[in-house]
């Protein structure tokens, strides 16, 4: 793609150089535009050296003898010649400017003239990020179709820890790469996705849970929404933001997850059960905090409802995709769960493998279907794995609908 990279004036501006390099390595052509404030943090020369192109810094700075004319039209020409505009870091001020449509420098003027895909990667102090004004501006920009790469949590330049750190350049580049491939092939479908762990209480302060971060399920939900589906995401407690354009139903326990899934089942056409649901819950939750004693403590656990198996019984012509978290015999266990839970497709992953399964940004999966198809995907980012799973669902949908027609 031909990409314009707009660099805003924040301490994270230096990371835009790494983003430039990653985009070029992915085969994109990059034209950098810097705001005045960005030039306080990093020199245009850095980007000019990386891209081999003049960096655009102002509406009115041109070497041309007919400066007035070329200034007046350059933002239009740049807008027409590029496929994607990414702003990184997008400061609170820049977001506000873009949201109200103010055009007082090259970047904000370009944004108004731009008709291609816009990606915004915000970076700022946590209080500025969570301020209702910033969130309202983001909401406006997101509704207008801008893709937002949410910031990470971590150490900030102001010496505090929290949300607001520019997303890792690799994550921004990956998101841009996945956008290049976006199709709206799931328009008209309603996805019901489950994600994250469940928490089963022992007493008012303790619970049994697992290491699921929600990343895999959230990425599937986000990808399905991008590919045109209406998406309902039933999620256990996680620490990642809900994807945009997705209806989030937060739950805690396996029983709550079951209830939410059953309530949403009627409208769903494709169900992806990625959540790591507890297999057992504590039979007698203590109403008071359990006291520590020298004696051994035994817990009595009852099995939780198997939501996937229940959906498998009620699914009718819906497409049902289950997951299997295994530590050995991945293919055998995946095929066994596919059949025993009446799924159409099952995605198995080894959760004891480095760079796969729980918490990781990557996964490595075996996808098995009832027709006997087996596909290996990974190791790759959870974004790529999500795209791959959706590609397989699209193929499955085609074969199921084809068979329906014959029947
Ligand atoms: O969240 P991340 O950190 O990104 O990690 C991703 C993941 C490892 C959680 C994900 O890739 C994954 O493997 N999810 C399934 C986890 C799991 O519970 O696997 P299982 O083999 O125990 O269960 C099989 C299937 O039955 C799953 O679809 C599960 O959602 C479902 N199930 C299980 C128990 C239960 N009581 N009800 C269910 O519906």
Instruction: Mark whether 158 is an active-site residue.
Output: yes
What CATH number labels 2-179? 3.40.50.1950
Question: Of ligand 1's atoms, which has the minimum distance to the CA of residue 309?
Answer: 39
Nearest Cα neighbor of 380 from 356, 358, 359 is 356
CA–centroid distance, residue 306 to ligand 1 (Å): 11
Q: Helix axis angle, 132-143 relative to 92-100, nearest 10°?
A: 50
Distance CA 116, CA 80 (A): 9
C-alpha count within 13 angstroms, C-beta hemisphere, residue 45: 1
CA distances from 4 to 24, 61, 83 (A): 12, 18, 8
Q: How far does the centroid of ligand 1 lie from the alpha carbon of residue 272, in Å? A: 10
CA dihedral 387, 254, 209, 288 (to 10 degrees): 160
Ligand 1 atom showing the smallest separation from residue 261 Cα: 39
Active-site position among 146, 158, 274, 343? 158
Measured in residues, the chain has a length of 407
User: Which residue, by CA, sits nearest to atom 13 of ligand 1?
Assistant: 325
Tokens of 45: 């020369």
Query: How many angstroms from the chain centroid is the CA of residue 246?
Result: 11
Find the residues whose C-beta lies inside 6 A of ligand 1. 212-217, 254, 273-277, 279, 304, 306-308, 322-325, 337, 349, 351, 357-359
Delimit the domains of the chain by residue range.
2-179, 190-406
Could you tell me the pTM of the whole model? 0.70
Which of 196, 275, 344 best tests ligand 1's pocket when mutated (most atoms within 8 Å of CB)? 275
User: Is the separation of the CB atoms in 207 and 200 below 8 Å?
Assistant: yes
Ordered per-residue pLDDT tens for the chain, 407 residues? 899 999 999 999 999 999 999 999 999 999 999 999 999 999 999 999 999 999 999 887 654 444 444 455 777 888 888 889 999 999 999 999 999 999 999 999 999 999 888 999 999 999 999 999 999 999 899 878 888 999 988 777 777 777 889 999 999 999 999 887 667 899 999 999 999 999 999 999 999 999 999 999 999 999 999 899 999 999 999 998 888 789 999 999 999 999 999 999 999 999 999 999 999 999 999 999 999 999 999 999 999 999 999 999 999 999 999 999 999 999 999 999 999 999 999 999 999 999 899 999 899 999 999 989 999 998 988 988 999 999 999 999 988 876 444 33
Atom of ligand 1 nearest to the CA of 194: 30
Non-local CB neighbours of 292 within 8 Å, separated by 6+ positions: none
Kindly give the pairing relationship between strand 247-250 and strand 230-235: parallel
Q: Is 187 left (phi over 0), alpha (psi -120 to 50) or beta?
A: beta
Instruction: State residue 54's pLDDT score.
Output: 93
Which atom of ligand 1 lies closest to the CA of 215?
4
Classify domain 190-406 at the CATH topology level: Rossmann fold (3.40.50)
CA of 324 to the centre of ligand 1 (A): 6
């Amino acid at each position: 793609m031909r990409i314009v990279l707009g660099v805003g004036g924040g301490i994270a501006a230096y990371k835009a150089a790494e983003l430039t390099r990653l985009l070029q390595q992915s085969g994109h052509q990059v034209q950098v535009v810097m705001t005045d404030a960005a030039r306080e943090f990093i020199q245009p020369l850095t980007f000019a050296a990386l891209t081999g192109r003049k960096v655009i810094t102002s509406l009115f700075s041109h070497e041309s003898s007919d400066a007035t004319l070329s200034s007046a039209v350059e933002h239009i020409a740049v807008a027409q010649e590029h496929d994607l505009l990414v702003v990184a870091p997008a400061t609170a001020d820049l977001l506000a400017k873009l949201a109200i449509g103010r055009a007082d420098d090259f970047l904000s003027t370009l944004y108004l003239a731009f008709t291609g895909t816009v990606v915004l990667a915000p970076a700022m102090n946590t209080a500025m990020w969570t301020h209702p004004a910033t969130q309202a501006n983001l909401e406006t920009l997101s509704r207008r179709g801008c893709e937002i790469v949410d910031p990470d949590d971590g150490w900030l330049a102001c010496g505090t820890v929290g949300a607001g750190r520019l997303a890792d350049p690799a994550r921004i580049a990956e998101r841009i790469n996945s956008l290049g491939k976006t199709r709206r092939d799931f328009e008209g479908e309603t996805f019901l996705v489950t994600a994250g762990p469940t928490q089963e209480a022992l007493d008012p302060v303790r619970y049994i849970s697992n290491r699921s971060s929600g990343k895999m399920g959230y990425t599937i939900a986000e990808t399905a929404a991008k590919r045109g589906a209406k998406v309902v995401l039933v999620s256990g407690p996680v620490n990642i933001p809900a994807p945009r354009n997705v209806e989030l139903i937060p739950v805690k326990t396996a029983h709550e997850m079951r209830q939410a899934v059953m309530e949403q089942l009627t409208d769903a056409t494709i169900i992806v059960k990625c959540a790591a649901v507890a297999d057992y819950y504590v039979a007698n939750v203590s109403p008071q905090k359990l006291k520590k004693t020298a004696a051994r403590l035994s817990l009595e656990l009852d099995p939780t409802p198997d939501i996937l198996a229940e959906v498998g019984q009620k699914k009718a012509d819906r497409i049902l995709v289950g997951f299997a978290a295994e530590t050995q015999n991945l293919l055998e266990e995946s095929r066994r769960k596919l059949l025993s839970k009446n799924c159409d497709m099952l995605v198995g992953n080894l959760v004891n493998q480095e760079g796969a399964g729980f918490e990781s940004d990557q996964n490595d999966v075996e996808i098995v279907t009832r027709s006997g198809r087996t596909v290996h995907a990974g190791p790759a980012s959870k974004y790529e794995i999500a795209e791959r799973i959706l590609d397989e669902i699209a193929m499955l949908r085609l074969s199921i609908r084809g068979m329906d027609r014959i029947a």
